Amino acid sequence: MASAESFTRIAIALPDTVSAPHFDRTAFRVKRIFATLAGDGLSANIKFELDEQEFKCQLAPDLFQAIDNGWGRQGWTTMWLAPATDEDVQAALRMAHGHALGPAKKKR
């Protein structure tokens, strides 16, 4: 079972990640926010690409649920921490973190 503490530890361990208050949540960002942790520590919102969101929600509906508004249509997905393992959290955060870094600079 993942917890708010393990979620935070895993998120902060990703390269160049910082955390800061974000409304009633804690945001994790590199170039942009890639995840937020709910104040009650029960869930987190993670930014996926739309195809990743669809896949994760179909594969593990007990862990992932698309947010039912415009944010969800942009890929923001709720992850419930109680049924998740630390490995689930790490995989989701790595994916979102990679997107937040943006495209790699091409060498000329």
- CA separation for the pair 36, 5 (Å, rounded): 13
| The token pair that represents 86 in the structure block | 């630390």
Residues of the chain above pLDDT 70, percent:
95
Q: Identify the pLDDT of residue 107.
A: 40
pLDDT tens across 17-67, in order? 999 999 999 999 999 999 999 999 999 999 999 999 999 999 999 999 999
Instruction: Say if CB 78 and CB 38 are below 8 A apart.
Output: no
Q: Using CA atoms, how far apart are residues 33 and 54, in angstroms rounded to an integer? A: 20
pLDDT, mean over the chain: 94
What pLDDT sits at residue 105? 45
Q: What percent of the chain has pLDDT over 90?
A: 93
Strands 43-47 and 64-66 turn out to be unpaired
Q: Which two structure tokens, joined as six digits, stand for 81?
A: 């921490």
Q: How many Å apart are CA 61 and CA 90, to the nearest integer? A: 17
Report the CATH fold assignment for 4-101.
Answer: Aspartate Aminotransferase, domain 1 (3.90.1150)
Q: What is the pTM of this model?
A: 0.92
